[in-house]
Structure 1
Amino acid sequence: MASLKSLQIVSGLLTFVLLLTQLLAHAHVVQAENIDAADTDRFCYPESSKNTRRSCECSNVSASPWGNRALRIDCSYKDYRAADLSLVLPLYIDSLDLSWNALDSVPILSSDSLHQLNLRHNNVSQLVAGNFKLLTSLRELYLGWNSIGRLEAGSFDGLPHLQVLDLAHNNLHLLPGKLFAPLLVLGTLDISWNRRFNESGEDLYTGLGVNWKLSTLRLDACSLGDLHLPVNAPLKELSLRRNQLKRIPAQLPETLLRLDISDNLLEELLPEDTFNLTQVRQLFIEDMPLLQRVMANALAHVDVLETLSFQNSRQLSHLDAEAFGPTMTTSTSTKKTALRSLSFRGTMLRTFNSTLAPLFTQLAELDLNGLPLQCDCELVWLKQLPVETNGRCYKPNRIRGMLVTSARGDAFSCDTWPRWAYGLVVLSLIALSAAGIYLIVMGLRPHRGVTMRRKVGAGSPYARVTIEPNRQENPHY
């Protein structure tokens, strides 16, 4: 009995403690929500902007992965300056959009829950040391489309969790050493459209301190004439569009899966350009202003390539029959089984060698839209492909504009003689006709040696018409 009573007492005490804990937690939550509501109103609906279009748009959502409360604030297009903002951000804030404002400097905001900060399309010209040191949970920082030309050492201090950094469309040059060293887990770095970036001459990894966890790097339109990246860097995606490269850089990470080399100055694609791209699965060689030829074995080393595009390389007019390696036959048609998507859209290729048929047959997508195809007997095999290419015939004239798959097979004919032979035959016939006409005319004309044997006189049948009238008029005859 005593033990039973003691158990009941202990159970009652535990129940009381549990209820008290729940009441205290509820009171704390209510107090926190009240404080948060006040902070939210102060930031989203300041007294100076209440009931105006300058108020921010604030919304509560459930953030992953646990469905916790998260506050997202959109203050874009409000013409804000740094002085108009409250530097202490509300509780539970997850993202803050300050794009398309009039910020001439980055406000030193404070929050331990902010994950995403968007400062694109402002007038920021420099970053100072410790600009983001009070945003310790920040994971994504977008600073593109500003005028940032000066960054102090330590500009990115206090961001140990930052994964995405966008510095595109600025005026970056002469960057301080080890600028990116504090970004320990940075995975994506975009420095595109900084035309003076090449002036720094600093190596991204050893000079600027880019960590070895970086997986995506974008260096579009940075006036690069060459690039050297560590071969053993674990980089997965690299974009080098619109630079001044005359060859694909020879020293690139071996782990690359996606490479975009579009809009550069290559005139022909050679085997040495792709020799080290053995792991690349997506290769984009688009919008090339000077590229004319893809030479033999130029794509022989990219065995695991899945997507390849030459789209809008408008000078490309020659694709070697062995561009993907030695001539493919039925016995070797399994060599390129990885390739699934191939685009020549908008190029000047007129025909394809039939040795490419095994490669083209295995494709899931082949884009030949806009090509001036010469639909003759050498290209009739293209009709048999299992995919729609959207390729249209440019010549011969009788089927111009028709889809390759729609044109009749017998229209894909080849002349047995070359064109110059037809011209020679026509000229010969004209010459023979002229000679024949000349001979006929000359044959009908009387010869100079022919004379009239019958003289005109009294015995002439014309005497009564010619001689007798004359005698009557001239009696002296």
Structure 2
Amino acid sequence: MARCLDVTRGGLGLTFALLLLCQLVQAEIIDAEETDRFCYPETMKNSRRSCECSNVSASPWGMRALHIDCSYKEYRVRDLSLLLPLYVDTLDLSWNALDAVPIFTSDSLHQLNLRHNNVSQLLAGNFKQLTSLRELYLGWNSIVRVEVNSFEGLPHLQVLDLAHNNLHTLPGQLLAPLLVLGTLDLSWNRRFNESGGGDLYTALGLNWKLATLRLDACSLGELQLPVNAPLKELSLRRNQLKRIPSQLPATLLRLDISDNLLEELVSQDTVNLTQVRQLYIEDMPLLQSVAAHALNSDVLETLSFQNSRQLRSLDAEAFGPIARTTTKQALRSLSFRGTLLRSFNSTLAPLFTQLAELDLNGLPLQCDCELVWLKQLPMQTNGRCYKPSRIRGMLVTAARSDAFSCDTWPRWAYGLVVLTLIALSAAGIYLIVMGLRPHRGVTMRRKVGASSPYARVTIEPNRQENPH
């Protein structure tokens, strides 16, 4: 009896295994058909307009994933199947002719790229069937209008790219459904400043997990962000800011304020940037000077003023009071490439010595005795001498130390000496000429008559030889 039961159980197990195998084979067949239907439709099969589909192993356990590349195919919405294949992980539809967002259906798609299309508006529910979506790229379109529920149904979205569009305003609480959004890019929406002032977090409903925010070229004249927001990276390049915003999250690690309208960097600009490790102040068209204590930070690691072409003055205490026995160990990379700085105070030597990278390429350096310490730095700075003319164009490290000389007198003194010598020479010549001229009281008279040396000489014939 027991043996019969074992045989029965064995038969049931074998039957179950066969059924499971049949289902897997059938699923594979269905999946292959769906993949062919999407990637190689009959109207585009064996043509350049068919997509490129590839199977890869996805983390964490090497599960199957399908990558679909349909870029540069000139697709419109009507050319696409809205039901995506099983296991699809990424879908690239960039550089096509889409004038609307295709309403796809998939529970496995993680990344959707719709860049470089002609989408002009986002409607409510455009992405609600993509419940597993993590990255959404909508940059380089012509989006003007966004409905309030455009991003509903995306609880796992971590990256949202809306850069290079025509956004003027965004509906209130638009991003509230994005509970785990970590990166938001709104750059190059040139009229985004029309959305009004106020706290951007409160206005858009941003969650407190946002780590990266990019607002480049949005014509911003001011910006307010919550001081206690846990933001790590902020980019504000190419705006109209005349000062670094005073109300920024205290947790910032990277700040890019390049290409704005600051004329001078002062300590009030950076007093609240207590945790910033990377600071970029590049391509500043008006920045001329850096005041004392403006860069006084013990945690700053990377600092760049590259191509700030009006920067002429760096205060000796711009980095704070630097003692010769103690240095700011955090700073490792410093760039003044393309600025107009001519010299550096020798009190900066301890700070510059600890650097791993110092870029002085393109500076019109005045290589005199006050800058000879720069030659002794342990790294190549690519700095070249502009003056004196005898070593113009030479690398600071290649020029001889004795060429870094200073005149004992100031330049104006040499000019004064030359002018004095010229005046003395002129006075001497004048006195000599006047000394050779006759005195006014002396009158030169010419004797006229027979006794005069200038009288006419007449030779009379010898009377003896010529008696007649």
TM-score (ref. length: structure 1): 0.92
Amino acid at match of 1:161: H
Q: 1:55 matched to which residue of 2?
A: 50
Q: 2:191 matched to which residue of 1?
A: 196
Q: 1:341 matched to which residue of 2?
A: 333
| 1:434 corresponds to 2:426 | yes
Contact 2:136 2:159 in 1 (8 A): yes
After superposition, the C-alpha distances for 1:141-180 in whole angstroms (9 at most, x for unaligned) are 0000001111111100110000000000111123111100
Between 423-432 and 252-261, the greater mean CA deviation after superposition: 423-432
User: Aligned partners of 1:89 and 1:468: how far apart in 2?
Assistant: 137
| 1:319 corresponds to 2:314 | yes
What SS does the corresponding residue of 2:255 show, helix, strand or coil?
strand
Alignment of 1:206-221 (within 5 A): 206-221=202-217
- Aligned equivalent of 2:388, options 392, 396, 405: 396
What SS does the corresponding residue of 2:423 show, helix, strand or coil?
helix
- Aligned equivalent of 2:83, options 81, 88, 93: 88
Q: 2:68 matched to which residue of 1?
A: 73
Q: How many angstroms does 1:70 deviate by? A: 0.9
After superposition, the C-alpha distances for 1:285-317 in whole angstroms (9 at most, x for unaligned) are 0000110010011111x2200000011000000
User: Aligned partners of 1:304 and 1:16: how far apart in 2?
Assistant: 70
| 1:330 corresponds to 2:324 | yes
After superposition, the C-alpha distances for 1:248-286 in whole angstroms (9 at most, x for unaligned) are 011111110000000111000011100110000000000
| 1:417 corresponds to 2:394 | no
User: Aligned partners of 2:261 and 2:5: how far apart in 1?
Assistant: 83
Q: 2:224 matched to which residue of 1?
A: 228
Amino acid at match of 1:347: T
User: Aligned partners of 1:380 and 1:20: how far apart in 2?
Assistant: 88
1:433/1:90 CA distance change after superposition, 3 Å: same
User: Aligned partners of 2:282 and 2:8: how far apart in 1?
Assistant: 75
Contact 2:192 2:218 in 1 (8 A): yes
| 1:145 corresponds to 2:140 | yes
User: Aligned partners of 1:222 and 1:33: how far apart in 2?
Assistant: 49
Contact 2:200 2:224 in 1 (8 A): no
After superposition, the C-alpha distances for 1:319-356 in whole angstroms (9 at most, x for unaligned) are 00000112x2223x23x110000000000100000000
User: Aligned partners of 2:132 and 2:28: how far apart in 1?
Assistant: 21
What SS does the corresponding residue of 1:205 show, helix, strand or coil?
helix
Q: 1:241 matched to which residue of 2?
A: 237
User: Aligned partners of 2:9 and 2:397: how far apart in 1?
Assistant: 81
1:12/1:284 CA distance change after superposition, 3 Å: farther
List runs of 5+ in structure 2 lacking aligned partners.
Answer: 462-468
Q: How many angstroms does 1:14 deviate by? A: 6.3
What SS does the corresponding residue of 2:435 show, helix, strand or coil?
helix
User: Aligned partners of 2:271 and 2:277: how far apart in 1?
Assistant: 14
What SS does the corresponding residue of 2:78 show, helix, strand or coil?
helix
Q: How many angstroms does 1:445 deviate by? A: 3.1
What SS does the corresponding residue of 2:272 show, helix, strand or coil?
coil
- Aligned equivalent of 1:407, options 373, 391, 399: 399
Contact 2:208 2:230 in 1 (8 A): yes
Q: Between Structure 1 and Structure 2, how many residues are aligned?
A: 460
Q: How many angstroms does 1:223 deviate by? A: 1.1
Amino acid at match of 1:246: K
Contact 2:366 2:385 in 1 (8 A): yes
Amino acid at match of 1:420: W
Q: How many angstroms does 1:362 deviate by? A: 0.6
What SS does the corresponding residue of 2:245 show, helix, strand or coil?
coil
Contact 2:114 2:137 in 1 (8 A): yes
Q: How many angstroms does 1:451 deviate by? A: 6.0
Amino acid at match of 2:208: W
After superposition, the C-alpha distances for 1:335-391 in whole angstroms (9 at most, x for unaligned) are x11000000000010000000001101100000000000001110000011111100
Q: 1:475 matched to which residue of 2?
A: none
Between 311-320 and 445-454, the greater mean CA deviation after superposition: 445-454
Amino acid at match of 1:377: C
What SS does the corresponding residue of 1:469 show, helix, strand or coil?
coil
Q: How many angstroms does 1:17 deviate by? A: 5.2
Q: 2:19 matched to which residue of 1?
A: 24
User: Aligned partners of 1:280 and 1:206: how far apart in 2?
Assistant: 24
Q: 1:120 matched to which residue of 2?
A: 115
TM-score (ref. length: structure 2): 0.94
- Aligned equivalent of 1:364, options 356, 364, 380: 356
